[in-house]
Structure 1
């Protein structure tokens, strides 16, 4: 999550995000706000340094659940956030562990996935002007920079989809607010801009809100909606066609999940979906008044 100029009218940086997880027996396209439990146990890191947690990514390994997230700092620093993780036995009740990726620049959106037996992380690191791929050498604690996939632009919230042995990379240019699409013929290969790129400049869908979800041979893209301010919700799109020549997506649900009340009164902008017999969903949310921030 990149902290943007406030749309509430105060001049300091917005803080106070939290994360909640819940289980559900529905596919991603069937979920509505009515399925989000009213009584959620919100995960927070309660220490003097941390001002909030956001951008959760869930993964299960050796019968244990892991959640990687953006760890925000309370005080203004030369950067706003780094990457940390928590563990759980049931996917609902979480124990904070530690920060695992600290760089000299802002980091968020820790997209963690497994590829050919290894764990990788693709965090947002726009201040470096690079898309940086990290590899776990001691999962989940120790990570090293493996490859710089792209450089020269401020790209945020990068995700990918593998289809017919081609890698398709979805990312947003922070300077132009364009959702871009690239492809490559290998996981760490050179990116080629897709002929349909940019996909969108619309603030209701031009920024990713989580990883691509594959369910019953269908692909879904989660998109941040900022039409009512940063973090106003998430919309759901189905990918209809994707090849080196074509790209087409269809709106499935708008709004999908959105700021509402309680701990998500002021913002919600990220969803993680872990497929199991009973799926686990993670969302982030913010209620700045609850966290003691005066809203003008």
Structure 2
């Protein structure tokens, strides 16, 4: 593009904004892609008596939740942003100075952080319109009720994103959407994850527009948003006594459910093997053979490698007494059994997800080392048991489950990442590319995060080809970590655009004594996956308890 930075106006309702908005603005200005040229202050809308009562109830709920689960809501803490302004022109909406500045400033974009309908003159003045955040399925303009209705209704995900208002249109257009996992116990945890993740939304999308230009950017927006088919905004009831009672009912049900699980169940990650079949049946549990580890440990994250006519499975082993994972390997026998696991790599920090690949006649492995804030690569000296450190591909990052793919002469690195400890590490897929898999100069994809969904983002194994199509396994972490597994077909992959389509999904949810699944190692003739095996101490009684729990877990409806 012909500009080095967008000229932007900021709309606020006073000198204080929520802490997450302050961090967003700070990051936006530090990026160099936006130059703030004016700030517009709007008078906040006065609350009615009922709204003040509802706000008091909501504050009480957040306070109780914070005490119960040691998670206060910090993202909504009022924070003064005046220190970020410098000599930026400031005005009140509707005043003479406001109109004069609109005539003087050639605005590219307006960033509206108010909770009111955008001003028509600002929509008309900005080349790319007014950009603002939305919250929840009702597409609210305020973050006040974030996560409340999703928690009450037991929805697995909280929707959030960016809408854009442009001249000549009576409604906004959605240009970005993401989902955050709700927390089964705490409202506040879901609120914190959602709002702190939203810090990145505007900086990333404006940087994408700056880097790619209008044509490619809006083509990406169409490709990104069209499959979601988001509904138009709906008017939803404010929080009141009824919603408060529903939240308290949910607290009680969740407590009793967790108490029952702690007393009468044990869950353990195990490995599963099966003959490789159709890609759309890759996660069908009834076809798998269980590998049960000793009860003092779990096995997870399997990768299958064929070497010298034999199949080997590399995986994470975690001994509960030690508390952090190390990497192990077994050889598959002709009858479907396997040899005893051998430890191949152990560090003072957690290791998992042993992604093994070949390059120029050597075997290399990229384990997950997010706890060390690195993406490390190891070279094999004697297959399959001796591995030595080669180099760091990335440092100073928190990257989970790095997965490589060679495609059309370039190497692509997929990883789930987060920029804030208060966010989930499983909800944003980042993509990088380089001309060599051992490069330390990985270039970030302009669409990052290329997938922003709690249900589909995090990698779940090696990307594989079937009938000329490429498929990316991904985890479903909506509602809980390792809830299920997806197979996604890659539709477009180049330096400007990434698109994929969900083709199959698996949510075990108790079937075949399995209650989760999150990695798939596709190979021929045998594929290996992992799953959460449920040890039921009460046998058939447990199954009846599950049915009762589902009945009582339905949203509590209180007629007025």
The interval holding the TM-score normalised by the smaller chain is: 0.7 to 0.9
Structure 2 Cα separation of the partners of residues 159 and 210 of structure 1: 7
Bigger radius of gyration, 1 or 2? 2
Correspondence 1:1-296 to 2 at 5 A: 9=258, 16-24=268-276, 26-31=277-282, 33=284, 36-37=286-287, 40-46=288-294, 50-75=296-321, 77=322, 79-90=323-334, 92-174=336-418, 175=420, 176=423, 177-189=427-439, 190-253=441-504, 255-256=505-506, 258-264=508-514, 266-275=515-524, 279-290=525-536
Q: Deviations over 1:79-135 (max 9, x none)?
A: 521000111222721112311100110011111122222111111111110001111
Structure 1 Cα separation of the partners of residues 470 and 329 of structure 2: 27
SS at match of 2:371: helix
Shift of residue 23 of structure 1? 0.6
Q: Is the 8 A contact 1:15 1:52 kept in 2?
A: no
Structure 1 Cα separation of the partners of residues 283 and 510 of structure 2: 12
Q: Deviations over 1:189-242 (max 9, x none)?
A: 211110111112210011011110112221101110022422211111111111
Q: Deviations over 1:133-164 (max 9, x none)?
A: 11110111100111211111110001021112
Q: Is the 8 A contact 2:267 2:535 kept in 1?
A: no
Distance 1:15 1:257, change over 3 A: closer
Q: Is the 8 A contact 2:469 2:489 kept in 1?
A: yes
Distance 1:152 1:64, change over 3 A: same
Distance 1:32 1:71, change over 3 A: closer
Structure 1 Cα separation of the partners of residues 527 and 510 of structure 2: 17
Structure 2 Cα separation of the partners of residues 291 and 20 of structure 1: 22
Structure 2 Cα separation of the partners of residues 181 and 27 of structure 1: 27
Structure 1 Cα separation of the partners of residues 302 and 507 of structure 2: 15
Q: Deviations over 1:8-32 (max 9, x none)?
A: 74799x86211010114x3313546
SS at match of 1:287: strand
Q: Which has the higher strand share?
A: 1
SS at match of 1:29: helix
Q: Give the root-mean-square deviation of aligned CA atoms.
A: 2.7
Structure 2 Cα separation of the partners of residues 291 and 19 of structure 1: 21
Structure 2 Cα separation of the partners of residues 170 and 126 of structure 1: 14
Q: Which runs of 5+ in 1 are unaligned?
A: none
Q: Deviations over 1:233-275 (max 9, x none)?
A: 111111111111221111212x2464442342x2111111003
Task: Identify the range of structure 1 (125-134 vs 283-292) with the bigger mean alpha-carbon deviation.
Answer: 283-292
Structure with more contact order per residue of length (Cα contacts < 8 Å, sep ≥ 6): 1
SS at match of 2:315: strand
SS at match of 2:522: strand
Q: Which runs of 5+ in 2 are unaligned?
A: 1-182, 186-256, 550-560
Structure 2 Cα separation of the partners of residues 232 and 282 of structure 1: 17
